[in-house]
Structure 1
Amino acid sequence: MTTPYARELEIAQLAVQRAALLTKRVFHEKAKGTVSKDDASPVTVGDFGAQALIIAALRHNFPGDAIVAEEEAAQLRADAGLRELIWGLVKGTRLEDEEAEGLLGGGVRDVEDLLEVVDLGRSEGGRVGRVWTLDPIDGTKGFLRGGQYALALALLEDGDVKVGVLGCPNLPVDDAAPLTVDIGANQSDDEGRGVIFSAVIGQGATSRPLSTGGLTEGKNIKMKEVTEMASASFCESVEAGHSNQSESAQIAQKLGITKPSVRMDSQAKYGSIARGAGDIYLRLPTSKTYQEKIWDHAGGDLIVREAGGQVTDTKGRRLDFGVGRTLASNSGVIAAPAAVHGQVLDVVQEVLGLK
C-alpha cells in the first residue's frame, strides 16, 4: 500500500536534487569570491535556474497545483543575455540516473518556456487547494560566501504543510556532526557534504546525502533531548537585519545557555536542529511591520515538527501558511524540542515584553 504523499515526496526530492546540481555549478563557476549584486550576479542566475528546474518538474507531475515562488520572469524578459545564460544552465543540468530524470518530465523546452515556467510561481497562495512554496536559493548571502543555503520546497494543502524538502549542499552529511561557529561561511560541497532533509505529515523526518543521480537511502532523524539548558545550543540568522541578535543573547543568558550562538543563513537551521546538531532556532522580529515569507519557513516548519519539535511564533501561535504569500498573522519564529519549547517561549516573551 502506498503511503500518503509518496509521489509528491519523491518528485520534490528529485527536483530539489537536480536544481542543487545547478546551484553548485553556478557557485563554482561564477560565485567564488564575488559579492556582486548586479543583474547577472550568481544569486540571480542560480535563483532563476533552480526555480525553472523545480517548477518544470512540478508542472509535469502535478499540473493542477498552484505554486508560490520567490522569483518572477520580468527581469529575464528585459535582459536577453541573462535569459540565454540561464537557459544554457537549465538545459545542461540533468540527473545522471535516467529513470529519476524521466520522473521529472521533459524539463524546460526552450527560452520562451523558461519565462513561462518561472512565472508559474506567481500564485497568491491561500487556504484552499494544493499550493507548493518554493525558495530556489534560501540564504543568498550564505550562497555567495560559500556558507549555508537551502533549496526549499513544500506542499500546502488547504493551508497546512503536508510535505517539506530542504536541499542543503554545504551541510555535513553526518547527522551527528555538531554545529560549529564557522559553519556560516567558507564551507564547501566536497565529499561528505550535501544533504536533503524531508518530511511528510504524520510520517516523521528523514535525511539523506545529496547525489547526482537517483535518491540515496534515507535515515530517520530526531531532535536531541535537552536535559539541561546549560548544554543547549541555538541557531540564528547571520544577518542582524533578519533577527534581533541582542535579544537572542539576553534570552540565551536567561535560559542558562553558555555556548555562543551558531549563525548561519537559510532553512539549514531548521534541518540542523531537526537532526540534533543544534537544539533551538530563534528568529526574533526586527520590526513590527516585517512579514516573513511562507517559502522561507514552510519546509523547515514541518521537518522540525516531524522530528519531535515544536514551532511557533513569539506569541505561541502555530505558523499560519494559509494567509497568502507571507506569514502575515505571525511574528517571529521559535523552534525547539517539544519538551522545552514552552520554557523557551516563556523567556522569549519575558525578554520581548509580551507577558
Structure 2
Amino acid sequence: MDPRVVARTFVEAVDPVIPLILQEDGGIWTGEAHVARHVKGDGSPVTAVDVATQAVIVHRLRQRLENIPIVGEENDSSLAALSPRERDRVRALVGAAAGEGAASRVGEMLGRQADGPSPRSYVAIDPIDGTKGFVGGGHYAVCLAWVHDGRARVGLVVAPRLDAGANVDVIEGRAPHGTAFLAVDGRLEVADVVDGRIGTFRSVAETRRAEPTEVALVATSRASGHTDPRIVEELARAFGRPVRAVRIDGQGKYGLVATGRVDAYVRVPRTPRQEPVWDHAPGLALVDAAGLAAGDARGRPFDLRRPPYVGDARGVVVAPPSSFDAIVAVTRRRVEGDGSQDP
C-alpha cells in the first residue's frame, strides 16, 4: 500500500469532521462542550462526538482502504454507554458529515474492529484524543496512524485549537485556529487548521523552530493523573537548566516536540494502565520522522505489533537522542525506584 495514498485518505477522512467537532467543543472562551460526558466500562470518558467522529472516519476509510484492519478507541460498547438522547445525537452528527446511509450503520462501523491474530498492517484511530480537554476547555486532537510491520509509517494528528506557532506563554490556551501534523514514511509536514478546514501541508523545515533558551520546555499532560508533577522538577538535573512544563491534552504534545517547539515530551503516570496503540502510534510516526528518540518511561521501545495495546509500556519519553538517556535515567527511577505507579 502506498503511504502517500494512505496519508491523503487520512486527511480526506478527517477534514469533514473538524467543523462538527468545533461546533461542539464550547469554543475558546466558555470551555463548556455542548455534549454530555459519559463513562465507559473501563472508567474513561466518552461523548457523542467521540463516537460520531470515529464512525465517520471509519466510513470514509472503508471507501478507500477497503478491508484493512482498524483498531479504534471507540466501539459498540462506547455507543451503549451513551444515553438514548446522546445516541440519537451520534446519528445526527454522522448524518451531517457522511449522509443518512452512514447514520443508519453507526453500530456496524463501530463494531468492525481488528480481532484474531495480530495483523501485519492496520489503522489505529483515536477520534478525540484528550476527551477531558475537549469537554473542559483544553486541547484535544483527532489522531490516525497506519502501522505496518510494527512501525507507524503514516501518522496524522489534527489539533483544532492548538496554534503550534504561538508564543509558549499562551500555547497552553485554546486558539481560534489549530495545527495538523502529518508524517509519511519519515517526512514531517504541518498545516494550519483555519475555519475548521485543514490547509496545505508544508515541510516542517519551513516552520519556526524553538530557539535555544535558558529554560528547557517539556510537554506533559494537563490532567494531573497522567503525569507525576514532581518529575518536572527532577528533570532539571537531566537538562542542566531549569525546566518549564507545557501542559496540554492530546497527542498535540508529540507534534510540539517533533517540530521543535518544546525540548521533550515526558509522561510518567501515577497508576498502572495498559497503553493503547491509538494513544501513541500517530504521535510516534511524527517523532520518528523528526529523528527523535522515543520510548516508555523505562527507555523501552514501543511495541506496535500486537494491537490494541503497546506491549507493557509505561509512560512516554520523547527527546533528541542527545538528551534521551539522561531523561530516562530520571523517569526510570520514578517508575521503578520509589514505588510510584503510573496513572
> Do 2:226 and 2:267's aligned partners in 1 also have CA atoms closer than 8 Å?
yes
Distance in 2, matches of 1:126 and 1:304, equals 28
Report the CA distance between 1:18 and its aligned residue: 1.8
CA contact (8 A) 1:13 1:196 kept: no
Q: Which residue is 1:14 aligned to?
A: 12
Distance 2:234 2:243 in 1: 13
Residues 302-321 of structure 1: pairs in structure 2 closer than 5 A: 302-321=285-304
Gaps of 5+ in 2: 40-44, 339-343
One-letter amino acid of the counterpart of residue 165, structure 1: L
Tell me the amino acid that sits aligned with residue 247 of structure 2: R
C-alpha distance in 2 between matches for 1:214 and 1:148: 17
Report the AA paired with residue 6 of structure 2. E
Question: CA separation in 2, counterparts of 1:226 and 1:15?
Answer: 35
8 Å CA contact 2:160–2:196 kept in 1: the answer is no
Partner of 1:245: 229
- Give the SS at the match of 1:128: coil
Q: Is contact 2:221–2:247 with CA below 8 Å preserved after alignment?
A: yes
Matched residues in 2 for 1:349 and 1:32: separation?
35
Partner of 1:301: 284
1:166 aligns with 157
Q: 1:126 to 1:318 in 2, by over 3 A?
A: farther
The 5-angstrom pairing of residues 185-334 of structure 1 reads 185=173, 187-188=174-175, 190=176, 193-202=177-186, 204-211=187-194, 216-221=199-204, 230-287=214-271, 289-334=272-317
Alpha carbons 1:269, 1:281 under 8 Å: kept: yes
* TM-score in terms of structure 1 length: 0.82
Taking the aligned partners of 1:116 and 1:108, their CA distance within structure 2 comes to 14
Residue 85 (structure 2) aligns with: 81
Whole-Å separation in 2 of the counterparts to 1:112 and 1:195: 32
Structure 2 Cα separation of the partners of residues 75 and 214 of structure 1: 27
Matching residue of 1:118: 110
Give the 3-state SS of the residue equivalent to 2:15 in structure 1. Answer: helix
Aligned pairs for 1:21-32 within 5 A: 21-28=19-26, 32=31
2:162 is paired with a residue whose SS is strand
Deviation at 1:214, TM superposition (A): 7.5
On the 8 A contact 2:182/2:286 being kept in 1, the answer is yes
Q: What is the Cα deviation at residue 57 of structure 1?
A: 1.0
After alignment, is 49-58 or 311-320 more displaced? Answer: 311-320
SS at match of 1:82: helix
Q: Secondary structure at the match of 2:262?
A: coil
CA shift, 1:108, in A, is 6.2
- Measured at CA, do residues 12 and 343 of structure 1 come closer, stay the same or move farther in structure 2, by a change above 3 Å? same
- Cα distance 1:128–1:13, how it changes in 2: closer, same or farther (>3 A)? same
* Equivalent in the alignment of 1:67: 70
Aligned-partner residue type, residue 68 of structure 2: D
Q: For residues 296 and 178 of structure 2, what CA distance do their matches in structure 1 show?
A: 29
Shift of 1:10: 0.4
Shift of 1:353: 5.2
Amino acid at match of 1:338: P
Identical-residue share of aligned pairs (%): 28
Q: Is the Cα contact below 8 Å between 1:163 and 1:201 reproduced in 2?
A: yes
- Report the secondary structure of 2:269's partner residue: coil
CA distance in 2, matches of 1:71, 1:271: 23
Corresponding position of 1:33: 32
Cα contact 1:142–1:184 (8 A) shared by 2: no
TM-score w.r.t. the length of structure 2 is 0.84
Q: Distance in 2 between matches of 1:298 and 1:125?
A: 20
Residue 52 (structure 1) aligns with: 55
Pair 350,208 (structure 1): closer, same or farther in 2 beyond 3 Å: same
1:14–1:215 Cα contact (<8 Å) kept? no
The superposition leaves residues 1-55 of structure 1 with CA deviations (integer Å, 9 ceiling, x where unpaired) of xx941110001012122222221112248x843595348xx95121011101111
Shift in CA distance, 265/280, structure 1 to aligned 2, threshold 3 Å: same
In the alignment, the residues of structure 2 paired with residue 148 and residue 55 of structure 1 have an alpha-carbon distance, to the nearest angstrom, of 23
- The 2-side partners of 1:329 and 1:298 are apart by 15
What secondary structure is seen at the aligned counterpart in 2 of 1:261? strand
Q: Runs ≥4 in structure 1, deviation > 6 angstroms?
A: 225-228
Residue 173 and residue 346 in structure 1: after superposition, are their counterparts in 2 closer, same or farther (change >3 A)? closer
SS in 2 for 1:153: strand
Report the Cα distance in structure 1 between the residues aligned to 2:37 and 2:192, rounded to whole angstroms: 31
Q: Could you tell me whether the CA contact under 8 Å between 1:125 and 1:324 is conserved in 2?
A: no
